[in-house]
Structure 1
Amino acid sequence: MLALILCLFWFPAGAAFKVISAIVIVLIAGVAWFRTGRAVRALREHHNMDALLAALPGENYRLPIVLTAGEGIEWLFEGAPLRDTTQGCYIRVPALAEIGPLAELLISVRPEWASQLNAMLVLFPEQQDDLPVMGVQIREFRFQVSRLKQICGQRPKVMLIGYLNGHHAPWFNCNAGSCEARIWAGIQSSHELSDWLRSGTPAEQDRKLRQAVRFEAWIRWMKKYVIPECETADQPCAPLRPLATGLAFVARPPAANNLWQRWVIDKTTLIPATISESSDDEANRFPDPLLGLLPERRGYPPKVRALGYAMLMALVFLVAAMFCSSWNNQQLLHEVTSDLDRYLAIDMNNYEPKAEALKQLKQDALLLEDYQRNGVPSRLGFWLYPGERLYPPLMAAIRSYQPPPQPKEMPPAEPIRLDSMSLFEVGKSELKEGSTKVLVDALFAIKGKPGWIVLITGHTDATGDANANMKLSLARAEAVRDWMIKTSDISATCFAVRGYGATQPVATNSTDAGRAKNRRVEISLVPDAEACQPIARDPD
């Protein structure tokens, strides 16, 4: 959940990447939740765990809890789910792969046992005939111990226990990192091997010697086939270093052509003798004396551990969120300062780039104002937001902008008015003789230029038919235009003509003087972006 919140609100990435990351996180969490409970559910379905849960000691039980797995488990427990002794509680694990799920099940019903769980691998070399299979079992046990460490929150102690066919004898033990063998005559009584061999009658000493020789041979067999599988570095889990190894002699008949027999024959060419007894000491089957070697581990209660994990995750979350917030604020600071530096580097007289830089500054200012008005987003939080110190210099730069000077508007040129009577005969549209001087003076006053059009308009008085006057005024304007095109170098694209008849009088039509003023031709320059453009010429 914290990872999802961190991704959505603080992670410095785009919206699409955040959505994809959130989906991936949800899928991973769902798969992890499903797989976490699947193993425990499978354990309940395939094995009758009700009998085990009913037989468990109470919540206040503080002796070692030993998860026992390996070869000969059914014989060892005689079908019982657990064995509770004065030194500890042995819990039968139906299969090596179920050590982890069974530990999860136990901790779910006995959370206080997390620091008491240990693991024990039972080896029966006289009941196995396939060395690679035994190697796979040891590696699986090693993997399950690493899982047990994750489940319990601390490394569990491990014991390797072996059984060989023989007369009843005390437990033989060899601690990790020590070659000294000890004999456990009782739960609290142990002797060095040399002292134990010297005690008893000559017949007993002879039997003890044979058992000691077999124990030494078993130690060499363990160092060759078992210990390397526990400590090899080619496995994905950590090396397994047992706290102790133990051996007991029981009256269980061996299988034919077993691993122990083949090894003894290879070393001595002798076939090991088989001891058959009516029964063996049932109490001697479990290594109670060796449980005293397990250190007392109190650890933290599960609730305290859960609280510690929660505090640790919250701390990691806060550190990650602050890191992402710092990154986001640095990006914001870099973007705004870069825009500001770019604006300041452009000369004020370079108007277009300066205006573009100003536009970006205004966008930055609007963003900071939005944060100030509506609140800083969480991705910029944790008191790292730099907007308060960025805004004043940003606004000062915006206010310092000097827009380009506005071009002076030229007053519209006064139109040139030509008296129609000096250009045309009454009712005529052909230029009369003697009009050239008037037209030349007008031509000097008018000069075509790009973006401007020479508008020639014809006007009449109100005498006569209106339609005839309209046509007459247009024809007179065209006559003046044609003369100017023919006489000057002004392009035809620079001209436009209109005929208004008597619709735009400049004086009254009730007097002769007024009607004379209304009969006129006007020439003016009118702005038009597409007018009077130079004609592209073919280079050929």
Structure 2
Amino acid sequence: MTSVDLYRLPLSWLALVVIGLTLLCLSLGSRSWWLVVPGLTLLTAFGAAAFPACRRWRANREDDAIQPDKARELPIILVVGPYAASAFARGAQASTLRRDGDAVWMLVRTPGELAESIDTIREAHQRLPDAVLMPVVPDGDRDDAVMRREFSHWRYELDRTIRHRVGVLPCHIAIYACLRANGDTAVDPVWFGDVIDVSTARPEIQHARQAVGLIRRELDQAWLAMTQSELAPRAALGHAVFDWLEDAALLSILSSLANTAPLSLRGLLLADVGYSPVRPGAWTRWLTGKTGLQPSLIPPKAQPLPLPGITARRPVLQATKSERRKPRWSVSHTVAASVVLVAVSISVSAWMNSRPVTRVAGGLDAFLHPPVTQADAQRGRPETLPGRYAGLARHEDVGVPALEQAVSNSNPPKGMTIDNLSLFDSGKTTLKPGAESKLKAALDLILANPGKPVLIAGHTDNVGLSAANLKLSEARARAIRDWLVDTASLPVTRFAIQGYGDTRPLASNENSLGREMNRRVEITLLPDSRTP
């Protein structure tokens, strides 16, 4: 850049500032054409964009260019969970590694192997694994209680052996099922839900139920666009898979496992593989008992489960020295344009707001120096207060003895109240470590009364939005129900859950002690409706 070019641009910016301020200082009669100021600002912005574009065009004609780094490593994804081995070859060709698509998939059979696999990847590649995949096979066992126990065992062992040892690993849950009337292994699997994207950081999902709603909508849209009648059952069977996960209390267990450190739930997928991966099991039995329909018996195929596609990292770009110098001039143009825009905006704002400021100043002066008669009238108002309170004194505690008698004759249901902070972290819906000991007394009370239904009610303070507090209290009540069902193998139908949010406080929310009392979970044994 020559010396002329070096000084031409700053002088142009300075001239525009002077012209704009001069126009604003003109008298009101001469300011009818003040719209020239925004016009000059737009012209300046156009110039600021044109100068860097011109320089880039000239630079592109040179030999300096950006070359992609071809030595890009493939993403490494760990496959975990009780059904992780179903995604890999068995028998004589058994292996713990699989190259499929644009990623390398590594089998992790037990929670204890997870730390070893992470250490191995760290030593070989100087980084953590890119993601974690957790396969779920609804027909993996004939009893859903066994499936709950296996996933709960993974969560317990993972929490016990690997907590605080590594960073955060994005986790995706993949559910595999045959959603077609007639199986066909020649057809590629159809995926619904989130894509495994290792190129960007996705937000954490507190509960898999948030992603289930999106997949249900995808199933409905696919059904509306379907042209082949033999594929019509796909949407109905897909909805049935998620209904079974809810009824079997497996969805909450999967969410808790996928959010146990170092895992962090980032997505949920549903795969129509076109064939039955295993023999009919818990989901098929539930579907038959729920609908009375017997699904077509499709012989299982002894082949690895298909793996979802992923979005890999973009190639790393390497720039030459001349290319790295260009953004500096672009930044200088942007800063100069911003200075001009701010100066003009402040001046225009001051001119437009001069009259409102004068009006507010006059009102403030009148408030600080009121007339004498008005001040005397305001001083006499407190003298009327004793008369008002005398009228209220006539309303004594009428009917309180009758109320106390009714309360003493009542037979309240058995129950207990537990502080939310001892069970959940702030804003979370998953039980934190050590919460099981707090729930042990409630479990003993429930087991001692086997014939009584149980109501689990969640409450919060008034911090935050009421709608969000209502959803949070209901989600926490559901998490406690799922723990009781999973721990003692109790029927889900015995429990009722209710979220009240901040609508039923025990104390005032104006102080911290009252808010602490209002953050609670109430577990109540209800009288059996069949008892006379």
Same fold, judged at TM 0.5 (above): no
TM-score for both structures, normalised by structure 1 = 0.35
TM-score for both structures, normalised by structure 2 = 0.35
